[in-house]
Structure 1
Amino acid sequence: MSQPLNHAPGLGEFLRRNSTYAILVAIGVGFAILSPDFLTLNNLLTVALQSTLVALAAMGMTLTIITGGIDLSVGSVAALSGALAAGLATRGGLGTYPGLLIGLLAGAGIGLLNGAMIVWGRIPPFVATLATMAIARGLTLVYTQGRPIAGLDRAFTFWGSDSLLGVPLPVWVLLVVAVLIHLLLSQTALGLHIYAVGGGEETTRLAGVSVGMVKLCVYIISGATAALSGLILTARLWSAQPNIGVGLELDAIAAAVLGGSSLAGGVGSIPGTLAGAFIIGVLSNGLNLLEVPSYNQQVIKGLVFILAVTLDYFIKQRRSPKLRRVTPQEKTSEGA
């Protein structure tokens, strides 16, 4: 008897596996129809540049969410890192690259503090990172005295304003960081342990994995990616603004969730998070092109996010045979 042929996955299965990308394409097609300027090369590069800042912070956020945690401090960390780097590079007299390095290390240090409070202090991630969010923002205002720090040299602003092969440098930085974190998640033991912690912390501990060290690594990476986002934004603005990064944590969480990460932990991917960040970037850019007032944009974004997450849930849950509810009739027939 001949074996049945393996048919290619249908449209439903394709959408189930790639729902985030399908939503991104649908939103992009909609704006392309509504605005002739959307698909121009300059505008697409602008979208990529705008999405970079959210995507960088969202990648670190994704790691914390996979472990079942959260990092609410990323916006404040971005502001503090940018302010420290700019201040040390100018009035501190250290120079650009030592300033950038210290800014990056400051972000990783706050991530380490978050991890230490969660692992050894037994403080819930929401509370711990909410506290460091307030502390980092306060330190930023104290350090800057509430005023911008200007006078950055060309070596600093280069990272936010120059291009390579016609593509803005921040986008290249994003691609490099995305590849590294994706490889960490998919090709290393640490990545396997990150998923395991989110899937079942006690089971992972009984398997001999140091859950505490995994969490420390995750929050350090989250702090570093938030700091990198702040450094790039500071370079783009040619000055350190004490109020940058306000709301960045919400955009980062939204990008991760839109990308398929589960707030219950154990699920998430870097490609999905990048798609989620670009959904946010495309939405903001498209609404600006359509000249929608800024106070209306927040309402529209919220509604689109709810619709996108609901649609994603519907596609993944209702299309999956494993998760479909079995009817009493089916149970009877199986028993027969």
Structure 2
Amino acid sequence: MTTAPTTSETKPQRRLANVTWVNDAGLAIIFVLLVIALTLASPNNSFISLNNIFLILIQTAINGILAMGMMYVIISGQIDLSVGSTVGLAGVAAAMFAHPGEFPLIVPIVVGLGVGILVGLVNGVGVAYGAIPSFIITLGTLTAVRGIALMVSGGAPVSNLSPEFQSLASGRVFGIPVLAIYFIVIAVVAAFVLRKTVFGRRIYALGGNPHAAEVSGINIKRLTIAPFVIAGTLAGLAGVLLASRTFTGSPTAGQSYELDAIAAVVIGGVSMAGGRGKAFGVVIGALMIAVIANGLDILGIDSNVQLIIKGAIIALAVLIDVKVRRD
């Protein structure tokens, strides 16, 4: 009598685990086949050259960092459209405190991160305590934050940055671009927290069944805020790194970055319904977006066609997710 409920509960869990494993393996295989195809199609196999591989890693890093934060938000059952604008404002704010000889390097970094945390708090509190749908409030902050970035910068990029600040994102460690190292470290930490901590399990529970999570004693409102703060913090970091890489804090930086982050998360197998997904898949998703863009550039494909291809990939990923949920 006592074993029947346990069996009935574990079968769906095992099935979901099997489906997730198959999706992860399938995604990795598709990625490898994509790399092989682009290598064979590129002139003189230039796609697989070491310089181009490093370029792909650099192109992946900023979007990958944003995608790690977006992963938490989407797994929790929400969405954040403001991360691109947060990148712009954080970059501007950091650059304003990064002029040579004015402040220590830690100051612009903390300012940029602080901007991201503040935007994340506004979004999270609005959703948790204001009962505003995440799509609506983050759409509002997307516009408002971009306006603030344009206002505080006077509509012009903030330049004249210190060499120390510029070196944040432009160096290499053992030949590997430091931007790629930032991304790898953040991905590893994000994966560990999500899969191995109580907090991570609660994020899954929140996205999978918020009512059941609340009944189990979880403070739903506080927990709802956390993923937005994580996403905002990582968007602030991405803004600082982008300003460092481009040697300027541009108020228009980060436009449409939220779409690439969402694309990486969805392609990586995170369910838009919440409650399911892994950091490994998101890393592959971010790499896949960069690989496609880089490969199509090498092949001379028009940028407008690239947008169509990216949109089709996102739609296909969502369609697969819906089918898996129904089966």
Q: Establish whether TM, by shorter chain, passes 0.5.
A: yes
Q: Which residue of 1 aligns with 2:206?
A: 197
Q: Is residue 294 of structure 1 aligned with residue 299 of structure 2?
A: no
Using a 3 Å threshold, how does the CA distance of structure 1 residues 200 and 292 change in structure 2: closer, same or farther?
same
Alignment match of 1:142 (pick from 142, 151, 158): 151
Q: Which residue of structure 1 aligns with residue 38 of structure 2? A: 31
Q: Which runs of 5+ in 1 are unaligned?
A: 1-11, 318-322, 325-336
Instruction: Give me the whole-angstrom Cα distance separating, in 2, the residues matched to 1:144 and 1:19.
Output: 46
Change over 3 Å in CA distance of 1:306–1:81 after alignment to 2: same
Q: Residues of 2 paired with 1:231 and 1:107: CA distance?
A: 10
1:267 is the counterpart of 2:276: yes
How far apart are the structure 1 equivalents of 2:284 and 2:26? Answer: 10
Report the residue type matching 2:153 in the other structure. Answer: T
Matches within 5 A, 1:172-183: 172-183=181-192
Give the CA deviation at 1:213: 1.5
- Contact 1:57–1:222 (Cα < 8 Å) also in 2: yes
Task: For 1:30, give the aligned amino acid.
Answer: A
Counterpart Cα distance in 2 of 1:16 and 1:277? 16
Whole-Å Cα distance in 1 between the matches of residues 23 and 59 of structure 2? 28
Contact 1:23 1:308 in 2 (8 A): no
Give the TM-score, by structure 1 length. Answer: 0.87
Q: Which amino acid aligns with 1:22?
A: I
2:105 corresponds to which residue? 96
Please name the residue that 2:263 is paired with: 254
How far did 1:277 drift? Answer: 0.5
Question: Aligned match of 2:84 in 75, 87, 93?
Answer: 75
Q: Which residue of 2 aligns with 1:129?
A: 138
Aligned with 2:304: secondary structure? helix
* Contact 1:20/1:312 (8 A) holds in 2: no
Measured at CA, do residues 186 and 294 of structure 1 come closer, stay the same or move farther in structure 2, by a change above 3 Å? Answer: same
1:54-80 C-alpha deviation (Å, 9 max, x unpaired) = 110011101010111001000000110
CA root-mean-square deviation: 2.0
Q: Separation in 2 of the partners of 1:141 and 1:28?
A: 39
1:145 is displaced (CA, Å) by 1.0
Task: Provide the rounded CA distance (Å) in 1 between the counterparts of 2:211 and 2:85.
Answer: 32
Read off the aligned partner of 2:121 and give its amino acid letter: L
How far apart are 1:276 and its partner, in Å?
Answer: 0.5
Residues 184/162 of structure 1: CA separation in 2 closer, same or farther (3 Å cut): same
Q: Of the two, which has the highest radius of gyration?
A: 1
Superposed displacement of residue 163, structure 1: 0.3
One-letter identity of the residue aligned with 1:78: V
Q: CA deviation at 1:300?
A: 2.4
Q: How does 1:6-21 map to 2 (within 5 A)?
A: 15-21=22-28
Q: Aligned residues: percent identity?
A: 35
Cα pair 1:55 1:277 within 8 Å, conserved: yes
One of 11, 22, 38 as aligned partner of 2:29: 22
Inter-CA distance 15–66: structure 2 relative to 1 (3 Å threshold): closer
Equivalent residue number for residue 15 of structure 2 = none
Query: Structure 1 residues 111, 92: closer, same or farther in 2, change over 3 A?
Result: farther
TM-score, L = length of structure 2: 0.89
Counterpart residue identity of residue 238, structure 1: F
Match of 1:155 in 2: 164
User: Structure 2 unaligned runs (5+)?
Assistant: 1-18
Aligned length: 307
User: Whole-Å Cα distance in 2 between the matches of residues 106 and 265 of structure 1?
Assistant: 27
Q: Is the 8 A contact 1:258 1:305 kept in 2?
A: yes
**How many angstroms apart in 2 are the aligned matches of 1:235 and 1:43?**
21
